[in-house]
Structures are given as structure tokens and as C-alpha cells.
């Protein structure tokens, strides 16, 4: 498949260039998780970030665990359609697989702004989607065209509750990208009973010197890394009803097994909330 084929009708803005020479967060994250879908520039940048903060790898895994438990929770609540923005390169336990374990007919629209994510996700969907899963290229920084692109593929029924998944993506939006407006715009399009699954990196537990080294690595990548405090992450849920246990570090969100002793200091917050 050529890259020109990866974009769904209604995609937003200019297509992102693959640019293997510039580190990209999706491919760096793939490297942290032990994946193979990354280029030398991604690996070099990821190694620099890991040298500054070796916990990046375990934080990425903890985030995947949160995503699994949160999507499973929504599926068990009866949510059978998901909008997953900032999908990432497919790995073990993708949103449609988790949801379908509880709700076999679950529909999922994946959205990412990285062509390599689309390439891999489309290949996976070809075997597993069969019209109930699709992937489109759009940018969270432009939520209105993103919604237009989602509506254009006509897979989700916006009159019924949707699970909106924003896992480990909002920390790639600077304040001037208006991340709170982006979340509010997406939620405004969804009916009462919809749920938000959100996780977000934080520098609350790391020394400023480590934070500065890590952000220095991402400043040379295609997207910056903007850690936000617990209060700032909490603010994404304004107007929603948080499910227990509220905003916590990701290993502490409804763990399946007893969390490790350092779970309270993992550099990623997560929560799930219902739109009233």
C-alpha cells in the first residue's frame, strides 16, 4: 500500500510526512514497548530519554495496562463503540480486541496523525476489522475537522454512548494547542452516557533536571512532551462524573493484581469518567 492510500476521505490538513530521520513519539513509544516498528532516529532518541529516565519503559507498560482495564470496564458497562484518538502503533491488546472480549460487535474508529501508525493499523484491521473497525488520519489539535473525518467514515452512531479514548496523547499538545478545548469539543459531540478514558504524562515525581533532559529529547522530535500536574490532568474531566478511584497514577486505577510499592510515583495519571 502506498502512503497516499492511507488517508481516509475527510482527513484533516496536510498529510504528515513519514520523515524517518526525525524521532516520532509513536515510534519511540513502540521502542519502549519492545516493538520493531521504529527507525534508527527513533531508537537513538528513545535511548536518550531512557538514559535520563529509565522508568519510561515501565511507565509505557503501566499505561497499556491502564488502557486495557479502562476499555474492558467500559465494554462491561455496555459501551460498544469507541473513538480512540492517538492510537499508537498496534501492539498486544488493542482497543478493538479488548472491547470485543466483552462486546463482540464493538465498533472502533482509530485516529492518529502518524502515517506509520495508519499503515500498521490498516494492515491489522484488514484481518480483524471487517467493517467494524477503521483507522483515519487526523490531528487532535484540530478537533472539528477530526470529528468531520470520523463522521465521514460513518461507523459510530453519535446518538448512542461512545467511549472516547485519549491515552497518552494529550501530553503531546502544548498549551497553545488548546488541549482542553480539544477534549471539550470531542465530548460536546457525544451524547450523555458517553465515557472518557484519559491518561497523561506528568513530571510531578521526577527532579526538574531529569524532566528538562527528557523534554529536551522530545523538543527535537515531531511533537514535544508536556507533563501536566495532577490538578491539570483533573481539569480535563471538568463537568464529567469521575468513576472510582478518580485521577490516580495508572497502576493504581483498578489494578488486577496488587500494585508495586512505587506505583504512586509512576509518571502517568489516568482516569475514566462518564458524561452526565
Ligand X SMILES: C[S@@+](CC[C@H](N)C(=O)[O-])C[C@H]1O[C@@H](n2cnc3c(N)ncnc32)[C@H](O)[C@@H]1O
The binding site for ligand X (CB under 6 A) comprises 25-26, 29, 63-64, 67, 85-88, 112-114, 117, 139-141, 167-169, 172, 223
CB of 51 to ligand X, least distance (A): 19
For CA atoms 231, 237, 239, 245, the dihedral sign is: negative
Q: Which is nearer to ligand X, 57 or 192 (CB)?
A: 57
Q: Which is nearer to ligand X, 26 or 217 (CB)?
A: 26
CB of 276 to ligand X, least distance (A): 25
Distances (CA, A) of 158 to 18, 37, 75, 79, 272: 32, 33, 17, 12, 19
CB of 7 to ligand X, least distance (A): 13
Rounded to whole angstroms, how far apart are CA atoms 129 and 97?
Answer: 10
Please say whether the beta carbons of 23 and 41 come within 8 A.
Answer: yes
Question: Which cell numbers in the block locate residue 259?
Answer: 500494585
Q: Which is nearer to ligand X, 183 or 209 (CB)?
A: 183
Q: Which is nearer to ligand X, 106 or 117 (CB)?
A: 117
Would strands 268-274 and 241-242 be described as parallel, antiparallel, or unpaired?
antiparallel
Q: Which is nearer to ligand X, 13 or 159 (CB)?
A: 13
Helix, strand, or coil here: 248? strand
Main-chain dihedrals φ then ψ at residue 83, nearest 5 degrees: -115, 110
Q: Which of 135, 118, 113 is nearest to 37 (CA)?
A: 118
Helix, strand, or coil here: 110? strand
Helical (H) or strand (E) element with 220: none
CB of 115 to ligand X, least distance (A): 9
CB of 238 to ligand X, least distance (A): 21
CB of 101 to ligand X, least distance (A): 17
Rounded to whole angstroms, how far apart are CA atoms 158 and 151?
Answer: 9
Q: Which is nearer to ligand X, 191 or 220 (CB)?
A: 220
Rounded to whole angstroms, how far apart are CA atoms 112 and 168?
Answer: 12
CB of 113 to ligand X, least distance (A): 4
Q: How many CB atoms lie within 10 A of CB 50?
A: 17
CB of 159 to ligand X, least distance (A): 25
Q: Which is nearer to ligand X, 113 or 194 (CB)?
A: 113
Q: Which is nearer to ligand X, 118 or 243 (CB)?
A: 118
Q: At what angle do helices 143-153 and 179-188 cross, to 10 degrees?
A: 30
Amino acid at each position: 500500500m502506498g502512503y497516499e492510500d492511507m488517508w481516509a476521505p475527510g482527513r484533516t490538513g496536510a498529510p504528515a510526512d513519514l520523515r524517518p530521520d526525525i524521532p516520532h513519539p509513536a515510534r519511540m513509544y513502540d521502542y519502549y514497548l519492545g516493538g520493531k516498528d521504529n527507525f534508527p532516529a527513533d531508537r537513538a532518541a528513545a535511548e536518550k530519554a531512557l538514559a535520563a529516565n529509565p522508568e519510561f519503559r515501565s511507565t509505557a507498560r503501566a499505561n497499556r495496562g491502564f488502557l486495557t482495564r479502562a476499555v474492558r470496564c467500559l465494554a462491561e458497562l455496555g459501551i460498544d463503540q469507541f473513538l480512540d484518538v492517538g492510537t499508537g502503533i498496534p501492539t498486544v491488546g488493542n482497543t478493538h480486541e479488548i472491547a470485543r472480549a466483552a462486546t463482540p460487535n464493538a465498533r472502533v474508529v482509530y485516529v492518529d496523525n502518524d502515517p506509520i501508525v495508519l499503515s500498521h493499523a490498516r494492515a491489522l484491521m484488514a484481518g480483524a476489522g471487517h467493517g467494524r473497525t477503521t483507522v483515519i488520519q487526523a490531528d487532535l489539535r484540530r478537533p472539528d475537522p477530526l470529528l468531520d473525518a470520523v463522521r465521514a467514515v460513518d461507523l459510530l452512531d453519535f446518538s448512542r454512548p461512545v467511549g472516547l479514548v485519549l491515552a497518552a496523547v494529550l501530553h503531546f499538545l502544548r498549551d497553545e494547542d488548546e488541549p482542553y478545548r480539544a477534549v471539550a469539543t470531542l465530548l460536546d459531540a457525544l451524547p450523555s452516557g458517553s465515557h472518557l478514558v484519559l491518561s497523561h504524562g506528568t513530571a510531578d515525581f521526577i527532579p526538574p533536571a531529569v524532566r528538562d533532559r527528557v523534554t529536551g529529547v522530545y523538543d527535537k522530535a515531531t511533537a514535544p512532551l508536556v507533563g501536566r500536574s495532577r490538578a491539570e490532568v483533573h481539569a480535563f474531566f471538568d463537568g464529567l462524573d469521575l468513576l472510582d478511584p478518580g485521577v490516580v497514577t495508572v497502576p493504581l486505577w483498578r489494578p488486577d493484581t496488587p500494585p508495586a510499592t512505587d506505583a504512586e510515583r509512576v509518571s502517568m495519571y489516568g482516569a475514566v469518567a462518564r458524561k452526565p
